[in-house]
Chains A and B, each alone.
Chain A
């Protein structure tokens, strides 16, 4: 245990505490031991390098992917020139944005205008600290308030957007900032309540514990724990769209009426900070949803949970490393699947008016999430789906799983079946639409089909 936990901890990464420091300070520099400032600098450098690198890769991938999804949904190809299937498009765009002139409006509040992008970006950066990519691949896995911490730091992000809109001294920007303020502040409440519904079923806020609790196969995932968490899954998704200013709730930057909303006056690198923050926050929001509802890094069959329970007791470092790598893959896949649905909605649904957005929050989503909270607490009292202890109660296919009340178990199984049926239905439906859509595209090439009465 080292002081580095005050900032971050790398329990399983070989760079953590001992190994990397010994390598650099003892073997290369010949120092007996690293002085404290060197350790501090080392850890800060790792945080900056690993966090920054990871976040950039995720954000750049999401930006490319969004353009690709948008293209295919509109019968285009999307970016396809830079690199294979256009995968390097984000790199090219990043270079372009770096080389662009950093414009500063004459009447702007210059100091604040320059500073706002960092205020918007830093909280998202900080939120990655507790995202559990694997049971050991977490930077700070012992943070007791895990989910709440992410909510807390993300709520600071609003301030950056408001500052940007205010400092620009532009009416479109200020409209965007004000919409942002009222939208995000109001949607934070249903977001938090739907998180609480899942947290109540689990009995912990810690992200790693949440993951471990769901390691016993798909029916132990929190979304299938009781009917209220099942509904809270969807409530959370809607609220997260709005609090992340994603379409159809992208009123702070609605292009058709506000030019570009709060970042109208921004160009170059400062604009890209806002852009990065949005896409990195999408991953954070998707990661929370994957952790809270979709079993975090666990596979549907409980294989990872089983092997993790086996390896965690002994010193199986290599096995744990491999397991964590696989787990990270699963976690990222789940988060990306949620991001894909966000993109899907963005290119499908029209944007509502601001009063409709607020109506949906205060009069629909908020009462709904309050009812869910009430129902979840009643369920906990009456049915008593006990939270359980990680690695003990939820070992896959073990008999201890059957110790819970029959009603709770039956609910889990039924909800799992409903969820799987729904997912299969959506996949089949989309597949059908994709096949028929291709035929439609061919038909559209004939002008007689576009204008029926022309011929």
Chain B
């Protein structure tokens, strides 16, 4: 059965509904991130934003990207933020109190970003704009044609150099962090002795 008004199939219509529901959730929680003054609540709203974006990735068949989004941002970065807040806060509920000039600068930056994004979206050709174009295509199940396998081949084949550079960078950061932490501890121990 097709919907006569839009001439798209039921599947596409339902997918569109799901997409707009997800998109609305992402947009609303992103607004809440900006408007909320409590920093821990901000982190919670950010969780919804990141999770919603992961949901959109799932609908676009980008399963690996979606899972990485959840692991790295929702499971890693966000928890680091919250952890830092818990360890550094003085009062139980810290609040943001941005100055007027900060609000103006942020609003201008946001407006520029919005214009750039809109221009990019409008000028894009392809599936954007055709309703229901993001219907999830069935994968060729049972064979080795998995996007994850291709991704792995690409990372360790064609893109080996950037991949290794990134991992060396991460290693340097880790060693640096360990050195700094150890140095501070040694200094503290020295002061105690003195």
User: Residues on A close to B: CB < 8 A?
Assistant: 1-3, 5-7, 33, 35-37, 39-40, 107, 109, 111-112, 115, 119, 141-145, 148-149, 151-153, 155-156, 158-159, 162-163, 166-167, 169, 174, 177-178, 181-182, 185, 188, 203-206, 209, 389-390
Contacts and interface: CB of A to CB of B under 8 A. Distances in A.
Contact of B63 (A33, A39, A149): A149
A3 B15 contact: yes
B40 A112 contact: yes
Contacts of A174: 86
B62 to A, nearest CB: 10
Given A39-B14, A109-B40, A148-B64, A158 B75 contact: yes
B58 A152 contact: no
Most buried by A among B3, B12, B40: B40
B78 interface: yes
Given A109-B38, A119-B47, A144 B148 contact: yes
Interface stretch (B100-108, B109-117, B139-147): B139-147
Nearest to B13: A36
A33 B40 contact: no
Contacts of A36: 1, 3, 10-11, 13-14, 17
Interface stretch (B23-31, B66-74, B179-187): B66-74
A163 B13 contact: no
Interface string B1-39: 101000000111111011000000000000000000010
B148 A151 contact: no
B14 A156 contact: no
26 contacts: A3-B10, A5-B136, A33-B1, A39-B14, A107-B92, A112-B40, A142-B139, A142-B141, A144-B139, A144-B148, A145-B64, A145-B148, A148-B71, A151-B71, A152-B54, A152-B66, A155-B75, A156-B47, A159-B75, A162-B83, A166-B86, A181-B83, A181-B86, A185-B76, A204-B144, A205-B148
A142 B41 CA distance: 36
Contacts of B41: 109, 111-112
Given A3-B136, A5-B136, A144-B64, A158 B79 contact: yes
